[in-house]
Amino acid sequence: MSETYQLSVCPHDTAKHVVEWFQFNTYLQRKLDCAIHFEPRDSFILEQTAVLSGGHQIVYANPLSACTYIQELEFIPVARPIGLYDETILVGRAGVGIPEKRPLAIASASGEIITHTLGLSLLDRLKVAHEDCAFSFVDTHLKSIHAVLRGQADLAFVFNDTWHSLSEGARKELEVIAETDEQLAFHCFLIAPEWAERKDAIQAILVGMQDDPKGQAILASLDIPGFEPLSEDAMDTLQTLMVYYNTLYNAA
């Protein structure tokens, strides 16, 4: 019986496009001519814990998870989306702005992802002291938005991609207070060391999707323009950024 490998995808992406990621997995299996199991996870912590426990050969990871998998599991960078970056938008109720009361209740998907760290940098820019904030971690970016809409939080750190995918009606109830534009952090594909010999083949498949009609359809369904090769130098830059932010906001 042939071996079955494992794919993991960042929960932010599966929350929006779970069916489409199953289609991607089917596409990848056919191209690689091997069996790959894909099981979506409901939260960032569950997804990262599953990968760190071992047994995954290919992952599509958020920036912080990607750095963690490289450092702890020696995963190898392969490809990243073209022109898509992880940024944070600070939102509140429309017309309210930043309330005067303290502590400010701020909803965030997780304290273990770049969205939260970039959100802390927005507070610094707005001269809002971190100690004047009460953070609640709610597992997903959509839940952080819902916390504001339901009056459970004053503000929320929201992934830019999540914000832009909201309905016009939902956005009208909210106000963008500040947003980052660093263009340094990104999601990416990584492979486990035991798949090192497959790197060129997998990279060619991912980069070639934009030139393949079936691949084009899957990319369109995922709202991804295409993939480009990811160098170790680019990941070194990202890891340096993560270390800098972790040092800067370690106490937050």
% the chain with pLDDT above 90: 76
Q: How many domains does the chain have?
A: 2
pTM of the predicted structure, to 2 decimals: 0.85
Q: Is the confidence at residue 73, as pLDDT, over 60?
A: yes
Average pLDDT over residues 57-71: 93
Any idea what the CATH number is for the domain that residue 52 is in? 3.40.190.10
Q: Are residues 124 and 173 in the same domain?
A: yes
The mean-pLDDT minimum among 13-22, 97-106, 184-193, 242-251 falls in: 242-251
Q: Are residues 74 and 193 in the same domain?
A: yes
Query: In the chain, which ranges are E strands?
Result: 4-9, 35-38, 58-61, 76-81, 88-93, 104-108, 133-137, 155-159, 174-179, 188-191, 227-229
Q: Are residues 171 and 224 in the same domain?
A: no
CB 199: neighbour CB atoms within 10 A?
14
Give me the residues paired with residue 90 across strands.
157, 178
Q: Which domain holds residue 149?
A: 88-179
Q: Are residues 20 and 134 in the same domain?
A: no
Average pLDDT over residues 114-137: 93
Q: Are residues 233 and 160 in the same domain?
A: no
Distance between CA atoms of residues 52 and 59, nearest Å: 11
Q: Are residues 199 and 164 in the same domain?
A: no
**Single residue among 179, 208, 233 that ends a domain in this structure:** 179
Q: Are residues 73 and 134 in the same domain?
A: no
Distance between CA atoms of residues 35 and 28, nearest Å: 9
Q: So what's the pLDDT on residue 182? A: 84
- Identify the band that residue 215 occupies on the pLDDT scale cut at 50, 70 and 90: very high
